[in-house]
């Protein structure tokens, strides 16, 4: 398959790069080195599913309350309690799906407390605060509508029951006048909701009940059987609700065994249950408890974190290979529904709220991971960065009425053209970036062709000191122009703040087109997306 050819060429490029001259040998301030790319638009690969650009929004810290929900009586401009500035920003990045209500919180969530007369509960996972349940099912679905996205709900397997999950689905989707349909109508929504994605639990190997894979498999069968979608428009075809099983949380034997057990169970399934996806969770953290700083870090931490983020490639490869054994037709998607950087909490922030800043380094993390997902687009068809607002590697930070867009937000915006585009193989010798004992591929590149024939190139230069001259040789497209945006900042740990919101923001850039070559010099520590137009 073209996708796997692209991957093996990339692996070869990385190995060749590791054998090449190190950055230390050339020193900072050296002239831009030339990196040649071969972009072959005549060999289209898999579709880069728009769902790879999904978000995760858990009831955690200031993610939902303050970040999304301020309530209808707030002086902060809002529509039915949902803040307008956040909605407008999210609309602009075309969020394809939002995973909710957790996370670990999903296995503590009881949906009935979040409809009609609300019942407050504890949020024991995240700071032990009171969860008022003001933002419940109807508010989430309203939010999804306002940003033009789709719902990815996770049902409670850890502390819930198949009956509770079944009733939530009936409440959400029944069109006929059952008691639950009437209750939904009385709560303001007579029409059935569209629920395209359903997660069966969350991390049930850990915070979701510390289950063995065999025990979880049995739970999966039962919950998958009874979590029925009654929406008449979702009975079959493209709109059918896809069920996503809990998958591995790493790459060691514990995790490969988990994937084996669930996939083997799926292969031997009987008519009464099925699944469509297997999740993978992987944070860029190095070790727990998270201790790397999100701002004010040095180059050693920069290199170590980028090295950690590149481990995503090996994880995807490992679990894809197991899935291939049981599912060579790739019916089951690998769904990376929690990924992103996880740093030490910001000094002074509430314990358990997972508040962190977001720097130029996070822009590179976003780009490198999205590129990995695109290379495995035949298997990885959905991913959700953790988390959307105010938590971990967020798109948006808020403080009362103030809002700021992070470098990660800008990468997601620059990558919008890749949503549903067709993967195009790129081969290159990445060169190397070395700091101390860490040597990494110096650059990364990914390409795709959209429906209009434009080829989109994503180029990352992780070297913090040396610019790179990219020289792309194109096959399968005659380029007339190549323009785009570059994202960088003054330092590796530059961030956007409420007082200085544009320190790291995209700037227009134009490449030189000469015959079948497109060339451009890109700044150190930068992410660039170019539109190569025929």
Q: 106 or 333, CB closer to ligand AHR?
A: 106
Q: 386 or 472, CB closer to ligand AHR?
A: 386
**Catalytic pick among 329, 338, 401, 485:** 338
Please select the residue that binds ligand AHR; options are 386, 430, 482, 513, rule is CB under 6 A: 386
Q: Are strands 526-533 and 455-461 parallel, antiparallel or unpaired?
A: antiparallel
Q: 392 or 445, CB closer to ligand AHR?
A: 392
Of 483, 520, 482, 527, nearest to 504 by C-alpha is: 527
Question: Is 66 an interacting residue with respect to ligand AHR (CB under 6 A)?
Answer: no
Of 132, 160, 162, nearest to 66 by C-alpha is: 132
Question: Is 54 an interacting residue with respect to ligand AHR (CB under 6 A)?
Answer: no
Stretch that binds ligand AHR, among 63-71, 202-210, 302-310, 409-417 (CB under 6 A): 202-210
Q: Is the peptide bond before 101 cis (omega within 30 degrees of 0)?
A: yes
Element (H, E) at 325: helix 311-326
Of 409, 334, 515, nearest to 95 by C-alpha is: 409
Question: Is 104 an interacting residue with respect to ligand AHR (CB under 6 A)?
Answer: yes
Question: Is 108 an interacting residue with respect to ligand AHR (CB under 6 A)?
Answer: no
Q: 93 or 385, CB closer to ligand AHR?
A: 385
Residue 485 bears catalytic tag: no
> Could you tell me how many residues of this chain bind ligand AHR (CB under 6 A)?
11
Please select the residue that binds ligand AHR; options are 55, 133, 202, 526, rule is CB under 6 A: 202
Question: Is 493 an interacting residue with respect to ligand AHR (CB under 6 A)?
Answer: no
Is the distance from CB of 2 to CB of 420 less than 8 angstroms? no
Q: How far is CA 55 from CA 98, 255, 385, in A?
A: 5, 24, 5
Please select the residue that binds ligand AHR; options are 3, 45, 96, 103, rule is CB under 6 A: 103
Q: 14 or 386, CB closer to ligand AHR?
A: 386
Question: Is 280 an interacting residue with respect to ligand AHR (CB under 6 A)?
Answer: no
CA atoms within 13 A of residue 449's CA, in its CB half-sphere: 21
Residue 139 bears catalytic tag: no
Question: Is 136 an interacting residue with respect to ligand AHR (CB under 6 A)?
Answer: no
Question: Is 58 an interacting residue with respect to ligand AHR (CB under 6 A)?
Answer: yes
Please select the residue that binds ligand AHR; options are 40, 167, 203, 493, rule is CB under 6 A: 203
Stretch that binds ligand AHR, among 2-10, 16-24, 97-105, 461-469 (CB under 6 A): 97-105
Q: 198 or 392, CB closer to ligand AHR?
A: 392
- What is the Cα–Cα distance from 134 to 127, expressed in whole angstroms? 18
> Judging by beta carbons within 10 Å of its beta carbon (0-12, 13-18, 19+), is residue 326 exposed, middle or buried?
middle
Q: How far is CA 282 from CA 158, 301, 383, 420, in A?
A: 20, 19, 11, 24
Q: State the minimum distance, in angstroms, from the CB of residue 226 to ligand AHR.
A: 23
How far is Cα of residue 381 from the mean position of the Cα atoms in its chain?
11
**Catalytic pick among 139, 203, 257, 329:** 203
Q: Is the peptide bond before 432 cis (omega within 30 degrees of 0)?
A: no
Beta bridge partners of 130: 122
| Residues found near ligand AHR in the complex (CB under 6 A) | 58, 102-104, 202-203, 207, 338, 386-387, 392
> Catalytic positions, please?
203, 338
């Amino acid at each position: 398959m073209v996708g796997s050819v692209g991957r093996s060429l990339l692996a070869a490029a990385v190995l060749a790069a590791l054998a090449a001259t190190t950055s230390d040998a050339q020193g900072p301030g050296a002239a831009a080195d030339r990196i040649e790319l071969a972009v072959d638009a005549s060999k289209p690969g898999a579709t880069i599913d728009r769902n790879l650009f999904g978000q995760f929004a858990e009831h955690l810290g200031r993610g939902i309350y303050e970040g999304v929900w301020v309530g209808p009586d707030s002086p902060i401009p809002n529509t039915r309690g949902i803040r307008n500035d956040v909605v407008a920003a999210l609309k602009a990045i075309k969020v394809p799906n939002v995973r909710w209500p957790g996370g670990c919180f999903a296995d503590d969530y009881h949906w009935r407390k979040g409809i009609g007369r609300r019942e407050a509960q504890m949020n024991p996972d995240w700071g032990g605060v009171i969860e008022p349940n003001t933002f419940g099912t109807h508010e989430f679905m309203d939010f999804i509508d306002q940003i033009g996205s789709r719902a990815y709900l996770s049902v409670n397997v850890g502390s819930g029951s198949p009956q509770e999950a079944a009733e939530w689905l009936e409440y959400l989707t029944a069109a006929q006048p059952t008691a639950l349909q009437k209750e939904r109508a009385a709560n303001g929504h007579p029409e059935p909701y569209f629920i395209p994605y359903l997660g069966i639990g969350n991390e049930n190997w850990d915070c979701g009940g510390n289950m063995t894979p065999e025990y979880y498999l049995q739970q999966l069968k039962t919950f998958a059987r009874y979590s029925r979608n009654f929406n008449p428009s979702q009975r079959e075809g493209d709109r059918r609700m896809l069920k996503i099983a809990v998958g591995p949380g790493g790459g060691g034997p514990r995790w490969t065994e988990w994937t084996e057990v669930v996939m083997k169970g799926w292969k031997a399934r009987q008519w009464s249950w099925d699944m469509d996806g297997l999740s993978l969770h992987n944070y860029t953290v190095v070790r727990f408890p998270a201790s790397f700083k999100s701002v004010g870090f040095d180059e050693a931490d920069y290199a170590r974190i980028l090295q950690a983020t590149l481990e995503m490639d090996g994880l995807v490869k490992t679990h894809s290979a197991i899935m291939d054994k049981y599912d060579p037709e790739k019916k089951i998607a690998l769904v990376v529904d929690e990924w992103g950087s996880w740093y030490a909490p910001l000094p002074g922030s509430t314990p358990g709220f997972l508040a962190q800043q977001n720097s130029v380094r996070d822009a590179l993390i976003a780009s490198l991971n999205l590129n990995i997902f695109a290379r495995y687009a035949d298997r990885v068809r959905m991913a959700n960065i953790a988390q959307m607002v105010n938590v971990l590697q967020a798109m948006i930070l808020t403080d009362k009425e103030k809002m700021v867009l992070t470098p990660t937000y800008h990468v997601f915006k620059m990558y919008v053209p890749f949503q549903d585009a067709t993967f195009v193989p790129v081969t290159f010798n990445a060169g190397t970036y070395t700091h101390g004992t860490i040597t990494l591929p110096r650059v990364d590149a990914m390409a795709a062709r959209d429906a209009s024939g434009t080829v989109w190139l994503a180029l990352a230069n992780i070297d913090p000191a040396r610019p790179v001259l990219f020289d792309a040789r194109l096959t399968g497209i005659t380029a007339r122009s190549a323009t785009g945006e570059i994202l960088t900042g003054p330092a590796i740990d530059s961030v956007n703040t409420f007082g200085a919101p544009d320190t790291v923001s995209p700037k227009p850039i134009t490449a030189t087109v000469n015959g079948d070559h497109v060339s451009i010099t890109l700044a150190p520590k930068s992410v660039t997306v170019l539109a190569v137009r025929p």
